[in-house]
Chains A and B, each alone.
Chain A
Amino acid sequence: MKCEGIPASGGIGIGAAVLVAEPDLGYGNVVFSGVAAEKARLAGAVAAFTAETTAMAEELRSQVGDTQAEILSGQVMMVSDPYMTSQMNAAIENGVCAEAAVDSVCGMYVELFSSMEDELMRQRALDVEDMRRRLLSILLGRPRAELKRIPPGSVLVARDFTPSMTVGLRRENVAAIVTESGGITSHSAILARTMSLPAVLSVPNIMDLLSGGETLVVDGSSGSVLINPDDETLRNYRALQGEALARQADLLRFRTRPTHTADGETVSLCCNITSPRDVPNVLEHTGEGVGLFRTEFLFMNRSTPPSEEEQFRIYQDAARQLEGREIIIRTLDIGGDKDIACLDTEPEENPFLGFRAIRYCLSRPDLFKTQLSAILRASAYGSIRILLPFVSCLDEVRSARVMLEETKCRLADEGVAFNRDIPLGVMVETPAAVFLADKLAREVDFFSIGTNDLTQYTLAADRGNSKVSYLCSYFQPALLRAIHMAASQAKRAGILVGMCGEAAGDPLMTPLLLAFGLDEFSVSPTAVLPIRQAISRWTREEARALADQVMGLSTADEVRTCLKANVR
């Protein structure tokens, strides 16, 4: 049987399922034994919690390092807070048992912290939740599963893991991690990646499907979990596992290295995000910044567009978490396949050739200036650049610049801090932008080549239509020529050129892009290490020699075959 979840940490793990079940924390049967007695029970539980957590923090520090340990020291500080304890005691004075007091007071803080906009503060909600569960398990005398004594070759399966659950875990005994909930930024995911364990998260009903002891194959790269596979499948996976382990070990060496070519030229390697919540994952994968923040997601699934203040806080949050690293914010890119309910756009016969992105924004100065103003204000807190999507003529750039300057004047009049020299760039994703690249390059500060849209517009093939998907390949010679043209014009004008489409994350493409003079690659976080490795294997000179050969080829198949034959 095969299940699918979120691939959260790469590699293949094979072993026997060990279910890590949470004890039942229901306290419906607990009888209130008087104010004094309940207060004493609470004080006892808090003392036990403090002693246990302090010891765990020490153990974790020697095991996986300071960051995980700090989460636990933080819990000790919180539980010793006289204010919170007094809230719990007040609840007891109202006639409830210690369990109910812990549950309600912790529950209140969980809600409070999880509603905050700041990512780091939201993480505190998980800490308080962990604290709630552990205090309850102490009060109820129902201890949690002991992970210290699991046998070698265990695949740990739980609803979700918290730092406190994994204390004492022996890395060498664990083959992989599987959970029923939690995303790629959860504690489980971070833990798995710090310990380099394959992990698949959010597998529906996995706790119910297993009873423990089953043979599991966990593929942390594709996100699949196989339950009791047949012998042949198992053999195949063991072979794959061997290869993957060797590759993984090689990749990890690139975590601490700067991104440069074999001849020492530095290239910027950033990530694409859709929310500040993605930033921890970027940093976790050693991304050097954000090359594309897609802001349309802020406008989705809501009835009114986000206010300037709300957008400002979101951009500021992302910028702050990046601590000075570069962040390119793309202005609203709606239309095409992205329909946005709060912006009453009319249905169009041909949305991909219609009223989308910059075209729409220029017709809505109120909306566009609100976003520009929010981005400008956030520019006081980080290294922010503005990127205009879907540009096809110079008038669009000029109109956008006028609105940007008007917004700057207004902010300056109001005495608001912002970066007056904020760089303005354009996406090169229409053939028109490619043909006009020389003119565009003189009026903007940088280019970002969006290969996904550029492919479908250059080949005139809908990427969502499976009948024409054979055309939608970035190995198409027509597309390579388009990329080459745009990059060359950027180089000639002396402006920076980056790429944020899927082609940037494919190591086969790396030598071509280096040859074209790309300054920045923006990829998904999991592609950072493979691309850094690929970049390190080519000098610009060698890459140019291969590019000369490739650019002389006639078909996508020839291009792919040639690049594969030359992969390093």
Chain B
Amino acid sequence: MVSEQLTVVNKAGFHMRPANLFVQTMLKFQSNITIVFNGREIDGKSIMNVMAACMKQGAEIEIRCEGPDEVEMLRTAVDLVRSGLGEE
């Protein structure tokens, strides 16, 4: 398992559009992805799960990936969140 801690930077956080971009990108990987936020574990391949967690700008999260392509997946996920999930 690989993991990294980071902060959500885009204004609206994991809103419908950003959440969808994130989930659709993660679905391309075989590994499992978990986001830990406020002590809760969120399935990073589920848009309902991700949206329901209400992760907004400034949220401190940890991303954990586990599986055959975990390193590549984690890097992609972290880059995506750091770059603002396709938003400003």
Contact = CB atoms under 8 A, between A and B. Distances in A.
Contact of A83 (B15, B46, B54, B56): B46
Contacts, number: 45
A120 B57 CA distance: 14
A81 B47 contact: yes
Contacts of B48: 78, 81, 83-84, 109
A66 to B, nearest CB: 11
Contacts of A210: none
B52 A112 contact: yes
Contact of A124 (B11, B12, B16): B16
B79 to A, nearest CB: 22
B11 A83 contact: no
B51 A121 contact: yes
A457 interface: no
Contacts of A109: 48, 52
A82 interface: yes
A83 B51 CA distance: 12
Interface residues of A, number: 19
Contacts of B11: 320, 323
Interface size class of B (residues with CB under 8 A): 10 to 19
Nearest to B13: A118
A120 B15 contact: yes
Contacts of B17: 70
Interface in B69-83: none
A112 B54 CA distance: 10
Interface in A107-158: 109, 112-113, 116, 118, 120-121, 124
18 contacts: A74-B16, A74-B20, A77-B23, A78-B47, A81-B23, A81-B46, A82-B46, A83-B48, A83-B49, A84-B46, A109-B52, A113-B52, A120-B12, A120-B16, A121-B15, A121-B51, A124-B51, A381-B57
Given A82-B46, A84-B48, A323-B11, 16 more contacts: A77-B47, A78-B48, A81-B23, A81-B47, A81-B49, A82-B45, A83-B43, A83-B49, A84-B46, A112-B52, A118-B56, A120-B15, A120-B16, A124-B51, A320-B11, A381-B57
